[in-house]
Amino acid sequence: MADSKSGIDVLHAMGEEKADVKEQVHLEETFYILSKKKSVFRVRLTSKGLSLIKETDDTSKEQIILLRDIIGSKCMRSKRRRVGGGSCVCTSLVGNQQLKVVDENSGDLDENDISAYLYIYAYVLKQNRRSLKRERTTITLRFRSFDKYEDNNKEAQKWRNTIKCLLANEPISSVPTYNEKKLLVLLNPKSGPGKARELFQEKVAPILLEAEVPYDLYVTKYANYAREFVRTRNVYNWRGIVAVGGDGVLFEILNGMFERLDWQQAFAEVPLAVLPCGSGNGLARTICHHFDEPFFHQNMTGLSMALARGKSSQIDVVRVETKSKIMFSMLSVGWGLMSDIDIESERLRSIGGQRFTLWALARTVALRKYKGVLSYALIKDIGNLPKPKQTIFGRSVSQDGALDSPETEAFFDCDEQTETYCADTGRKHQRVDSWYSVHSRRTFYSARGSDYHSIVSGGSELRSPVHACMHGPGSHLPSLMSELPSSWVHEEGEFVMVHVSYQSHIGEDFLFAPRSRLCDGVMWMLIIKAGISRSQIFSFLLKVTQGHISDINNEYIKMVPVSAFRIAPEGQNGYITVDGELVEYGPIQAEIFPNIVNILVPDTK
Ligand SMILES: Nc1ncnc2c1ncn2[C@@H]1O[C@H](COP(=O)(O)OP(=O)(O)OP(=O)(O)O)[C@@H](O)[C@H]1O
C-alpha cells in the first residue's frame, strides 16, 4: 500500500502498451522519484505485468511493462562508498549515476543504508520508425519503509517472489518452485563466420544470468560431436537442449535424439532450441517469424528470452531416406541450384550469409540442369488438411528392411567413454576453455551454477565407438526402390532445381514458404524446370529475397504443397542437401511427421 517512506528510481521504464483486459493486482506500492519532487509512482504488480502510474498534481500517466517482456529480478543492497569518493553516506539518492548496488551477500555493502533495492529486468518491444526492436529496461524499486534492512529486504523479496511465480505461471507463494535443471548448450565454434562463442558470451549469457537460468555449455570439437553427445547422455538431466550455431548443429542434435531407444520420451520431455550463429539460420528466423519476434542478424535477445521462459511448440520433422541412410530433418531437402549454392559457397564461409548471394549470382550465370524423376503426394486442398497419420513408434526402418541395422548397444553413458571434465565440480566458476580466459577480464556472465565444459583433446579426438542405429517413427512409404502409389504425381525431365521446405524461412533473409506453419504437416516443394532463362532466374531470386515467392508460377516455376516426395536423379554428379548438409547423391524420399519434436519459442502471444 502507499507508503510515504518508499523511494523509487525508474531508470529506464519503458513500454507503453496498455492492457485492456481486467487484470488481477497482486502487489501495489507508492514510490517517490527523489529527483522530481511532487511526482509519485503508483507501482502495481498485476497478472499482466508491472504497471507504473506516474502521478503529478494534475496528471496521471501509465506505463506497463508486460510480464512476457520481464525476464527476472534481483534484490540488491547499497554499495559501501569509498572514503573520499565524493559523496556523503547520508546523501539521499538523486541521479542514476550515484546508485551503486551490490549483491545482498557482498562484503562490500553499505551498512548505513537500510534500503533494499529490487532490480527488475525486462526487454521491451519498441516500435522505432523503421522496425520493431527489443530494448533492455531496468526498473529499480527502493524499499525503505522500515527501520531495519531485514524488514525492507523482506518487502523487496515479496515482490521478487511474486514476479517469479507470475513468470513461471504458478500460484503466488513465498517460496516459488525453482527449476533445478540446467539448459544444455551445444555450441559450434565453426558455424558461420566462427563467432558463436563471442555471440553467446556477449548476447545470450547476460540474459540467462538475469533470468537465473543455469546452463552447461559444451563447445563441439568435431562434426557429429553434438549428435553423439545427445545420443549417449542422460538428456533428462537438462530442461532443454540448445544448438548454438547454424541449422547444421540442430540437425545433428535432432538426429542424435532419434538414435536413442527412448527417443519418443526424450522428445516429449526435453525441448530443443536454436540460437542463430550460422550462415543460414533458417530455423531461428522461422521461429521468430511465427511468433512476431523481431529478428536481426546476430541479435539473439528474443530467442535467449525464449530459453528462459521455457514455452515450447511442436514442430514438423521430416523423415528422409537415401539408399544408405535414414535421417530426420527440420528444415529442407534440396536438389540442384540451391544446394549447389549452399555447398559450393562453403569456401566463402568467413563472410557469413553474404556467401549465398554471391554464389547465387555466379551459379545463375553458369546455370546447370539435372535429369531425373520427381514424384510427390500432392496436398490438393491445403485449407482442409488431413489429420496427421498415426505415428508408428519403433525403429525407423525402411519398409523392405534394407536399412535395418541390428539393435546395438546404442545407448550408453558417454561419461565413461570420454574424458569430460567439468569446470565447476568443487571449483566454482573456473573456466576451462581458452576463449573464456580471453574474456575473463570482462563482466563475468555465468548464471549461478552454470558450467563450462570441454573435452580433453590429446591429439586424436575422442569419439563414441558405438555404431548408432536410427530409431524414430516408422515409414508409411514403400521402400526407396519400390513402386509408388498411383495417386502420386510424377514428373520426368530436366530440372534446374527442386527444393522442399517445411518451414517458412530457409535462410535469415529467405522467406521460402509464406503459408507454412511451424507444425502443419505440409512440405512446400519448389520446382524449377530446365529451359528457364537466366533473366527469369534472376528475377526469381530477387522476388524470393523480397518474400514474394508465392507470386511466382509460370511454365518453368511452380510451388506445390506435398505430404511426401521422392527424387530420383539420373547420373552421378550433383548435390543433394538435407538441412543444408550434404548427403549421398542418388534417390531420396521423404515424409512429414508433426507432433513429435518440441522447440522453445518466444512467449509473445
Ligand atoms: N567443432 C567442429 N569442427 C568442425 N565442424 C563442426 C564442429 N562442430 C560442428 N561442426 C559441423 O559444422 C557444420 C556446419 O555447422 P552449422 O550448421 O552450425 O553452421 P553453418 O553451416 O555456418 O550454418 P547454417 O547451417 O545455418 O548455414 C555442421 O555440419 C556440423 O556438423
- Pocket flag, ligand 1, residue 574 (CB < 6 Å): no
The model carries a pTM of 0.81
Q: Residue 253 and residue 243: Cα distance in Å, rounded? A: 8
CA of 597 to the centre of ligand 1 (A): 21
Ligand 1 site-directed mutation target among 186, 190, 250, 281, most atoms within 8 Å of CB? 190
Residues 56 and 163 in one domain: yes
Task: Please tell me the residue having the least CA distance from ligand 1 atom 6.
Answer: 223
Q: How far is the CA of 439 from the centre of ligand 1 (A)?
A: 23
Tell me the mean pLDDT in the region 434-442.
26
- The answer on 517 and 422 residing in a single domain is no
Q: What angle is formed at CA 394 by the lines to CA 392 and CA 396, rounded to 5 degrees?
A: 90
Q: Are residues 86 and 111 in the same domain?
A: yes
Query: 591 is written with which cell numbers?
Result: 515424409
CATH number of 16's domain: 2.30.29
Q: How far is the CA of 223 from the centre of ligand 1 (A)?
A: 7
Residues 346 and 369 in one domain: yes
Choice between 518 and 1, residue whose per-residue pLDDT is larger = 518
pLDDT at 7: 42
What is the 228 CA–ligand 1 centroid distance (Å)?
Answer: 14
Mean pLDDT of 444-469: 52
| Residue 6 sits in the same domain as residue 112 | yes
Q: Domain limits at 241?
A: 182-316+409-455
Mean of pLDDT values over 584-594: 96
Q: What are 55-62's contacts with CB under 8 Å, separation 24+?
A: 62/18
Instruction: Tell me what pLDDT residue 443 has.
Output: 33
Q: What percent of the chain has pLDDT over 90?
A: 52
> Are residues 254 and 288 both part of a single domain?
yes
**Which of 186, 188, 285 to probe ligand 1 with, by most ligand atoms within 8 A of CB?**
188
CATH of the domain at 253: 3.40.50.10330
Nearest-CA residue for atom 30 of ligand 1: 223
Quote the ipTM score: 0.96
Kindly state whether residues 250 and 338 are assigned to the same domain: no
Q: Is 419 a member of any domain?
A: yes
Tens digits of residue pLDDT in 53-78: 988 877 888 999 999 999 999 998 87
State the amino acid at position 386 in one-letter form. P
Q: DSSP readout, 106-155?
A: -TTB-TT---EEEEEEEEEEEE-SS-EEEEEEEEEEEE-SSSSHHHHHHH
pLDDT value of position 450: 72
Contacts of 264 (CB under 8 A, 6+ apart): 393, 596
Which residue is closest in CA terms to ligand 1's atom 29?
248
Kindly state whether residue 386 falls inside one of the protein's structural domains.
yes
Q: Evaluate: CB of 278 within 6 angstroms of ligand 1.
A: yes
Q: What percent of the chain has pLDDT over 70?
A: 74
598 occurs within a structural domain: no
Q: Residue 360 is part of a domain; what is its CATH number?
A: 2.60.200.40
Phi, psi of 384 (to 5 degrees): -130, 65
Say how many residues make up the chain: 605
Shared domain for 530 and 565, answered yes or no, is: yes
Q: 389-416 pLDDT, tens per residue?
A: 444 444 454 444 444 333 322 222 223 2
Q: Select from 133, 167, 201 the last residue of a domain.
A: 167
Tell me the C-alpha distance between 431 and 31, whole Å.
Answer: 42
Atom of ligand 1 nearest to the CA of 281: 26
Residue 507 has pLDDT above 80, yes or no: yes
* Residue type present at position 134: R
Q: What distance in Å separates the CA atoms of residue 365 and residue 13, rounded to the nearest whole number?
A: 53
Between 213 and 17, the more confident residue is 213
Q: Residue 273 is inside which H or E element, if any?
A: strand 272-276
In terms of DSSP bridges, do strands 332-336 and 182-187 run parallel, antiparallel, or are they unpaired? unpaired
The per-residue pLDDT for range 221-272, each reduced to its tens digit, is 999 999 999 999 999 999 999 999 988 999 999 999 999 999 999 999 999 9
pLDDT of 447 reads: 52
pLDDT in tens, 133-179: 999 999 999 998 899 999 999 999 999 999 999 998 888 877 777 78
Comparing 93-102, 212-221, 497-506, which segment has the lowest mean pLDDT? Answer: 93-102
Q: In angstroms, what is the span from residue 365 Cα to ligand 1's centroid?
A: 28
Per-residue cell: 154: 523482506
Q: Is the pLDDT of residue 298 over 50?
A: yes
Asked if residue 602 is part of any domain, the answer here is no
pLDDT of residue 41: 87
Give the pLDDT band of residue 555 (cuts 50, 70, 90): confident
- Averaged pLDDT, 469-490: 94
| Three cell numbers, residue 466 | 558405438
Going by pLDDT thresholds of 50, 70 and 90, the confidence category of residue 93 is very low
Q: What residue type is 55 in one-letter code?
A: E
The whole-number pLDDT of residue 413 equals 26
**583: helix, strand or coil:** strand
d(CA 427, CA 435): 18
d(CA 303, CA 604): 11
Reply yes or no on whether the pLDDT at 423 is more than 70: no
**Domain for residue 601, yes or no?**
no
**Which one of 108, 138, 167 terminates a domain?**
167
Are 102 and 155 found together in one domain? yes
Euclidean distance between CA atoms 502 and 318, whole angstroms:
8
Tell me how many domains the chain contains: 3
Shared-domain flag, residues 577 and 540: yes
Active-site residue, from 69, 110, 113, 247? 247
CA-based nearest residue to 371, from 585, 215, 115, 129: 585
Ligand 1 within 6 A of CB of 345: no
Give the DSSP H or E segment for 567: strand 557-569
Indicate the residue among 132, 167, 202 that finishes a domain.
167
Most confident of 123-132, 211-220, 346-355, 409-418: 211-220
* Residue 600 belongs to some domain of the structure: no
Q: Is 543 exposed, middle or buried (CB count within 10 Å of its CB: 0-12, 13-18, 19+)?
A: middle
Quick check: is 247 catalytic? yes
196-210, 289-303, 550-564, range with greatest mean pLDDT: 196-210
Which pLDDT score, from 0 to 100, does residue 477 have? 95
Q: Say if 597 falls within a structural domain.
A: no
In a domain, 354, yes or no: yes
Q: Which one-letter amino acid corresponds to residue 427?
A: R
* Nearest atom, ligand 1, residue 245 CA: 18
* 92/130 same-domain check: yes
Residue 121 has pLDDT above 70, yes or no: yes
Contacts of 9 (CB under 8 A, 6+ apart): 33, 34, 93, 96, 99, 140, 142
Q: Which residue has the higher pLDDT, 95 or 34?
A: 34
- Whole-number mean pLDDT of the chain? 79
User: Does 151 lie in the same domain as 58?
Assistant: yes
Position of cell 522530481?
36
Of 220-234, 457-471, 534-548, the range with the highest mean pLDDT is: 220-234
Residue 87 predicted with pLDDT over 50: no
